[in-house]
Amino acid sequence: MPRIAFTSCMLHQRFDHQPVWHRILAENPAHLVLLGNSIYLDIDAIPQRMSTGQFAEHAHALYRAQLAVPEFDALLRHMAAKGGRRVSAIQGAHDFLWRDAAGADIAGNPEHRKKLEPSRVLFELFQRALAEPGSFPERLDDITPPTEPDETLMYEALPLRDDLWLHLPDGRSHRTETWRVPQGERSLLGGRQLDAFATAVNTAAPGALHLVASGSTGAGWQPYQRDWTALTDLAARHRLLMLSGDLCHDGFASHGGFSGWPLHEATASGAAVRDAVLYGVDAENFALAEVDTTELRLRFFEASGETAARRIERNTWTAKAGA
User: Taking a C-beta distance cutoff of 8 angstroms, is the pair 50, 119 a contact?
Assistant: no
User: Taking a C-beta distance cutoff of 8 angstroms, is the pair 320, 301 a contact?
Assistant: no
Mean pLDDT of the chain: 96
For residue 125, what are the β-bridge partners? none
* DSSP helix/strand/coil, 50: coil
pLDDT tens digit string along 225-281?
999 999 999 999 999 999 999 989 999 999 987 789 999 999 999 999 999 999 999
pLDDT tens digit string along 291-312?
999 999 999 999 999 999 999 9
User: Which residue type sits at 241?
Assistant: L
Residue count (the chain): 323
Quickly count: other Cβ atoms within 10 Å of residue 244's Cβ.
28
The structural domains of the chain, ordered by start, are: 3-321 (3.60.21.70)
Residue 1 has pLDDT above 80, yes or no: no
